Amino acid sequence: MSHLPAMKTFYQGLIDFSSSFQSLFLLGIRLFWGYQLVQSGFGKWTSIASTASFFDKLGIPLPLFNAYFVSSIEMGCGALLMLGFASRLATLPIMAVMSVAYMTAHQKALKTLWEDPQTFISQGPFTFILISFMIFTFGPGKFALDTFLERRWGTQKR
């Protein structure tokens, strides 16, 4: 029993040390996946006719409008994530768009979620939903415009 205080101290030190990387980790996630979203949206935007045609084949109503809408969300919300501005809010449209992607372009993976979870998680929308949920839950971290503005306005709750 005499080792218990030392183990507790060690474990608390490990928690404190690993927690010091949280904001850096969130910054890396926001920059990498935000950039991926911007690229994806830009690709759709620059080939809008083929994107609309693909949406039409999937049965998405108003395919041209939705092609512009989805590409705008991906570029805009991706840029917001990279900046760490309105981060939690930006994750909501991303999760919605990726959920629709599962329901349309990745139906088989969605339908076989419980029988074949590996197929579900290997689809493109999964990572975007997961990352969006992480940022929605944990926030953008210290290295974000959101955090700067919270400090500046005195509304920081951390």
pLDDT tens column, 98-148:
999 999 999 999 999 999 999 999 999 999 999 999 999 999 999 999 999
The whole-number pLDDT of residue 156 equals 60
Q: How far apart are CA 123 and CA 107, in angstroms?
A: 11
The whole-number pLDDT of residue 3 equals 79
Q: How far apart are CA 158 and CA 141, in angstroms?
A: 10
Least Cα distance to 51 among 33, 66, 37, 32 occurs for 66
- The first and second tokens of residue 139, run together, are 């926030």
Q: What is the pTM of this model?
A: 0.88
The whole-number pLDDT of residue 157 equals 60
pLDDT tens digits along 52-99:
999 999 999 999 999 999 999 999 999 999 999 999 999 999 999 999
Helix H or strand E segment including 73: helix 63-83
